[in-house]
Structure formats: C-alpha cells, structure tokens
C-alpha cells in the first residue's frame, strides 16, 4: 500500500490527508480517460456508418435556425452530436450526478460546451436546475445551440418536462425535436432504456418541425406545447428506427412497452405456477397447523381451496380483495360508496384472516358478502373464478398474488389496485425483479397509489394508468366504538390517568413497560393499556411484564381493569376504537421497531394525542404531515415516552394544540376516496350488462 500505512501510530490526519486528494485525482483521471475513449468510439460509429437524413437538408435547417434548442429523449442521445452544422457552437445540458461525469467528458472531447444541472422532475429536489436554466439562456444568447433531453431522470420516460418549454419561452428560440437511430445497437434496462450505438451500421437522423413557444404563453398554451413536443419526439424516434431498419422495441423503456402491450409471463411465472401446484399435497397440513393456532376458520376451510361457501348473486359482482383488518377498513367506505352509486351491483369481499372475517360479519353493508381468499394455487384460483365470475376485481394495497392476478386477467376481468403502497425495501425488490413484476402490474387498468414515489416505482413496472390518490385510510371513518364497553371501562377506571400503547409488536412492550415505570413516579394512579397487534400474544406478554414486578391483567379474563392493575392488556379483537375513545394520549405501535408503523389516523379521529417511534415508512405521508403540523410527536426511547406523556397529562393546552395540528394535517391529506371512486366508476359503467 502506498497510501496510509497500517501502523496505528501513523494513522493520523497529517499522514492520511493526502489520500482523499490522490483518490479524487485518480477518479478524475479515469473519468477523463473514459470520456476520451467514449468520444473516440462515437467518432468511430459516425465514421464507419452510412448516414440517412430526414429531411435531406436537416443540417441546413439547423444552421438556419441557429441558435436553437435541440431536444431528444434520454437514453437516445449518444449520436446527437453528429447533427452539428459546420461552424456552429453547441452547448449541452448534463446532469451533476456521478454517472453523468463520463458523458460530460465525452462532450468536452467532442468540442461541446457543458451546462451542468437538470430539472428536479418528480423528485422535487434541487439538482442545479435554476443555475442550469440561467446558463442555458446565457448560452443561447451567446450564440450556442442547446442540446438537452426532454424527459427528466428518474422518469417517467418519454414524458416531456416543463423545463425545456420554459427555456424556449424565455429565450425566444425554437425547439427542434430530433432522433438518431442505428441498425446495430445495444440497449440496457435503465429507466430510459439507454441505447449504445455500434459501428459499421446505418445511422438515421430525423428532425421534426420547429416548435415555437410564445413569450406570453399562459399555462394552457405551455401545456399544449409540451404535449406537441412529446408527440413529435415519439414520432421522429419511431421514424428514425424505421429508416435505420432496426427494432424500436429494443430501444423502448421496458415500462413503456409493458404499458402499451402487457408482456407475456416468462419462465419465472412458469416455475412459480408449477411450484404452487406441486405444493398442493402440503396445503391440508398447513391449514391444519394454522387452524390449531387460531389463524384459520376451520368450518370455512374449503374457501381457502377455492370452494364457494355461498351462491353467486345475480348480475354484476365486484370482487374486492383486502389482506386483513387494516386494508379492509380502508376499502369499506369505497364499498359503501360503490353500492350506493350502483344499485344493480353486489360486492364480494375476500380477506385472508379470521379477525377480518369477524369484522366483515359485523360491518359489511347489504348486498356485500364475505369469503376467504383462495390460496394462490392455480387450481384453487380457477375454481374460485369459475364460480364467482367477477365483473371487475379490486385489489388493495400490496396484497398481489400472481396466480390470482393473471388468472383474472386471462378471463378479461378488469383489474384495479387501490391504496397501493410499497415500502422502500419492496420498491428495491421489485426493481431487481422487474421482469417478474411487469407482467403483473401492466395488467391493471388503473392503479391508485398513496404517494408519488410509489407511483413512480409502479410506473417503472409498466402500469399504464397510475394515479396518485393519497391514502384511503385518511378518509376512513374512525374505528368502531362500543358504547356499552366504553361506559363500563370508564366506570372501572374512574379518574385514573390513562396511557394507551396501540397495535404493539414484539420488542416494543418492554420499552413501554419501562416508560410506565418512569411515569408512575409523576402521574399518580397511572393505568397503561397495551393493545397488542396480534391478540394471541396477550398471555405471554402478561407473564413477561409480570416478571418485571408490574401488576398486569388480561382483558380476555377480566373485562374491567382492577384498581391495583398497572398494565391492562387488551388481548381482544375489534376493540381498538373503544380504547382510543377512553385514552387522551396514545403511542401508535409498530414504530419503535423496524416494522414501519401502524395507522395513526384512527387515533387522531378519536381525539387521542399521537406519539410515534421513528420507524413510520408504512404511513410516511400521514406521519410527515402530522409532525409538520404539530399533530404528532416522535419518540425514540422509554425516557422520551415518559417525558412527553407526563407533559401532555399536565399541560392541557399543549394537548389541545396537538389535536388542532392533527386536524389540520387530516384536512391536507384527505380526498383519496373521491379520486378512487372516480377511477373505479367508469369501469363499472363500462361493464354494465
């Protein structure tokens, strides 16, 4: 090693300070070498290929319009430098990220002036766009034609951004849509389908008519010009590949291709289908095990095998699938609105858990029935679909099963995904297995996502119609409050202060118990109520907290907390709303560990001040808005919990300010139900018989 030595006494800032500088210099050298090599390769492709121009006088036209703005699609820019009339100065906009350094060096080697920066696009963060805009206007004013891509990383691809239109309006210079295609090329599965042109080929250069953007253009005119650019760029790109004699599909972003024509399931699906079929003999054993654990409804086990437990209603049947209680609560208002707006339809709701079936039995409206969703085995799925013959299928959030989706699509059943969500980990996983995801997501007629980042990820998977609608759980009514149970609890608790830990997961209860031990010093008679996310944990939880010297009590054994009880464990089903109603302060669980958090809106709607741990990616938008408006507090330890709960018990004004902030946050987040119904209703109308 010629850099820092391994001897500890020599590992000092003085001895190591030259190392980062040497590494930076090495990187610059490599980038310069790579850029020079790329420029040489571009010259080789240009020199060894036969050129075709359309129109034939394209170079003369560009010279006459100079300085102008030359627009191309991202990923298709390698040979655009060849469209350069003699004695014309050219500047190119190149992004600031590391991957663009090589391209920038190649442009320099080709005699092109660089403008560093790019539009923010859908990421809405500064990427040097303002300085790039100023530099672009300056370059045009100085007699440089400007080359830039119309679509903005990270996509969606082939959608023109507003930035190029703004530059044209402010500079008064026209936009020339261009495309260059070669007969021989390599392409890569990047967001824009990066295309690498190869030598000894046929090069086709195509330009569209100039697009002029008036200086006084209003928003409507600007949008029409953006759409004109988008349409023309698609047309010249298609024409360039025709002239080059090459297959444009190999250069199209895979998500764009999938959206236009859903790809056939590949070998991975064949393996998946075969594997799930081969596992059929093990299914009874699995269901028996789950039944003994209380996770399966044994009398209705046939439904998990695709056997119907009820006859199919006459007429249109809308199939809505939700994994469990949380997802079902989110779609119940949608079910009610669909039934109210369409008196001729019935709804089939499927879920996969016994708790959700219990809630469905109590809450489903008239003309709606419940069944357990079949396991994702081809034979079970076929049996289910053959009996129910749904008119339309609506899936919820992220519970997407390949055999169910493809089985419904193969029967021509329109598919909708509502309240779609993906964790950052899931997004990365889907990106790695995009060839598996595209045949699934491209078959949905509409997908309504909780936020824009999820929408971008799903667009990359080929979904043709993605709408950012927001979270349906924001518009859901508060969870059910049992008036009799509430009155009995209030009578038993009396004037004791209450702290609620709702929907907790393993690893959180010890933190809450430690917080209780701290709080009881300052809050006399404190009763802490823990509602575990999975009620079957109640017995073990009571034993472990009891071993810490805390007086615990299970609701399943004693309906009312005793006067000496310190920790009351609500190991029952469907009572969370009742406990929120009697608690002024609630920690929403799943957030002190890396689970991703549970829904805070239920607590807010029932008037509880919300505390949350730092892990909230399952409800990122809701928590971000709540914390911004002062409607929720983030805690990271038992000390944090104790401090904030104690303050809120003492300071009623602070508690009221929190509730007001939470109300403001809810108002800013609402509207998902109307958007979702607006997307689903046209499909229902289309399917009328």
Catalytic residues: 327
If you write DSSP's letter for every residue of 317-351 in order, what string do you get?
EEEEE-SSHHHHHHHHHHHHHHHHH-TT-EEEEEE
Answer for the pair 294, 534: CB distance below 8 angstroms, yes or no. Answer: no
User: Which residue is it, tokens 């469990």?
Assistant: 324
* Neighbouring residues of 470: CB distance < 8 A, sequence distance ≥ 6: 450, 451, 621, 669, 670, 671, 672, 675
For residue 243 the two structure tokens come to 């002239």
**Alpha carbons 599 and 586: distance in angstroms, whole number:** 12
Cα 362 from chain centroid (whole Å): 32
**Alpha carbons 237 and 643: distance in angstroms, whole number:** 62
Longest CA–CA span in the chain (Å) reads: 93
**Alpha carbons 124 and 110: distance in angstroms, whole number:** 32
The distance in angstroms from the start CA to the end CA of the chain is 77
Residue 280, helix vs strand vs coil: helix
**Alpha carbons 562 and 69: distance in angstroms, whole number:** 77
Residue 502, helix vs strand vs coil: strand
Length of the chain: 689
Answer for the pair 49, 27: CB distance below 8 angstroms, yes or no. Answer: no
- If one counts every other C-beta atom within 10 angstroms of the C-beta of residue 6, the result is 7
User: Which residue is it, tokens 């006067």?
Assistant: 563
- Say if strands 527-532 and 552-554 run parallel, antiparallel, or are unpaired: unpaired
If you write DSSP's letter for every residue of 510-550 in order, what string do you get?
HHHHHHHHHHTTTSTT-EEEEEESSGGGHHHHHHHHHTTT-
**Alpha carbons 149 and 154: distance in angstroms, whole number:** 12
Answer for the pair 199, 49: CB distance below 8 angstroms, yes or no. Answer: yes
For residue 538 the two structure tokens come to 């109640």
CA proximity to 328, closest of 291, 365, 283: 365
CA distances from 38 to 101, 110, 203, 247, 591 (A): 12, 10, 18, 24, 49
**Alpha carbons 653 and 70: distance in angstroms, whole number:** 60
Answer for the pair 51, 203: CB distance below 8 angstroms, yes or no. Answer: yes
Q: What is the C-alpha radius of gyration for the chain, rounded to an integer number of angstroms?
A: 31
* Neighbouring residues of 624: CB distance < 8 A, sequence distance ≥ 6: none
**Alpha carbons 619 and 165: distance in angstroms, whole number:** 36
Residue 585, helix vs strand vs coil: strand
CA proximity to 605, closest of 652, 669, 550, 545: 669
């Amino acid at each position: 090693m010629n850099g820092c030595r391994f001897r500890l006494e020599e590992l000092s800032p003085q001895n190591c300070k030259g190392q980062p500088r040497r590494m930076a210099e090495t990187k610059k050298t490599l980038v310069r070498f790579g850029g020079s090599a790329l420029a040489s390769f571009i010259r080789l492709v240009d020199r060894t290929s036969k050129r075709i121009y359309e129109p034939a006088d394209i170079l003369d036209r560009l010279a006459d319009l100079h300085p102008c703005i030359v627009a191309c699609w991202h990923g298709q820019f390698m040979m655009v430098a060849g469209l350069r009339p003699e004695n014309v100065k050219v500047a190119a906009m190149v992004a600031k990220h590391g991957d663009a350094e090589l391209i920038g060096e190649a442009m320099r080697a080709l005699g092109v002036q660089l403008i560093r920066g790019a539009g923010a696009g859908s990421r809405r963060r500064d990427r040097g766009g303002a300085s790039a805009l100023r530099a672009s206007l300056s370059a045009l004013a100085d007699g440089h034609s400007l080359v830039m891509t119309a679509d903005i990383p990270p996509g969606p691809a082939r959608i023109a951004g507003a930035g190029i239109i703004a530059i044209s309006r402010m500079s008064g210079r026209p936009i020339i849509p261009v495309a260059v295609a070669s007969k021989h090329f390599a392409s890569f599965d990047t967001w824009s389908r990066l295309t690498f042109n190869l030598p000894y080929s046929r090069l086709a250069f195509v330009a569209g008519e100039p697009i002029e953007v008036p200086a006084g253009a209003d928003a409507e005119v600007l949008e029409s010009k953006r759409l004109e650019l988008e349409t023309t760029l698609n047309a010249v790109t298609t024409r360039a590949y025709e002239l080059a004699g090459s297959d444009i599909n190999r250069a199209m972003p895979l998500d764009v291709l999938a959206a236009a024509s859903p790809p056939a399931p590949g070998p991975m699906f064949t393996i998946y289908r075969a594997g799930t079929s081969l596992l059929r003999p093990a299914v009874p054993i699995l269901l028996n095990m789950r039944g003994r654990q209380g996770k399966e409804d044994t009398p209705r086990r046939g439904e998990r095998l695709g056997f119907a437990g009820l006859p199919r209603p006459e007429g249109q049947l809308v199939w809505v699938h939700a994994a469990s209680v949380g997802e079902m609560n989110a779609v119940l208002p949608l079910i009610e609105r669909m039934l109210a707006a369409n008196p001729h339809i019935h709804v089939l709701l499927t879920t996969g858990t016994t708790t959700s079936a219990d809630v469905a039995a109590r809450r489903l409206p008239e003309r709606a029935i419940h069944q357990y969703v079949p396991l994702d085995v081809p034979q079970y799925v076929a049996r289910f679909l053959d009996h129910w013959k749904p008119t339309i299928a609506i899936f919820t959030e992220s519970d997407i099963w390949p055999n169910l989706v493809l089985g419904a699509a193969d029967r021509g059943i329109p598919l909708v995904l509502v309240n779609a969500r993906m964790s950052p980990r899931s997004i990365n996983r889907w990106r790695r297995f995009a060839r598996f995801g595209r045949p699934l997501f491209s078959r949905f007629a509409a997908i309504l996502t909780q936020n824009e980042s999820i929408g971008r990820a799903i667009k990359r998977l080929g979904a043709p119609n993605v709408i950012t609608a927001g979270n349906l759980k924001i518009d859901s009514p508060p969870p059910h409050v049992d008036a009799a149970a509430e009155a009995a609890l209030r009578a038993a608790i009396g004037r004791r202060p209450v702290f609620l830990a709702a929907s907790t997961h393993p690893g959180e209860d010890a933190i809450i118990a430690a917080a209780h031990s701290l709080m009881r010093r300052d809050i006399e008679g404190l009763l802490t109520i823990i509602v575990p996310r999975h009620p079957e944990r109640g017995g073990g939880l009571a034993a472990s907290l009891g071993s810490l010297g805390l007086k615990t009590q299970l609701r399943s054994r004693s309906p009312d907390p005793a006067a000496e009880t310190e920790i009351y464990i609500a190991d029952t089903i469907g009572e969370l709303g009742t406990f929120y109603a009697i608690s002024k302060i609630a920690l929403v669980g799943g957030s002190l560990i890396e689970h991703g958090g549970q829904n805070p809106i239920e607590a807010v709607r029932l008037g509880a001040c919300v505390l949350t741990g730092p892990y909230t990616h399952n409800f990122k938008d809701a928590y971000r808005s709540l914390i911004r408006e002062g409607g929720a507090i983030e805690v990271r330890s038992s000390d944090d919990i104790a401090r904030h709960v104690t303050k809120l018990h003492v300071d009623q004004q602070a508690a009221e300010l929190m509730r007001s902030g939470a109300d403001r946050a809810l108002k800013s987040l609402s509207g998902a139900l109307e958007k979702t119904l607006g997307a689903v209703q046209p499909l229902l109308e289309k399917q009328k018989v």
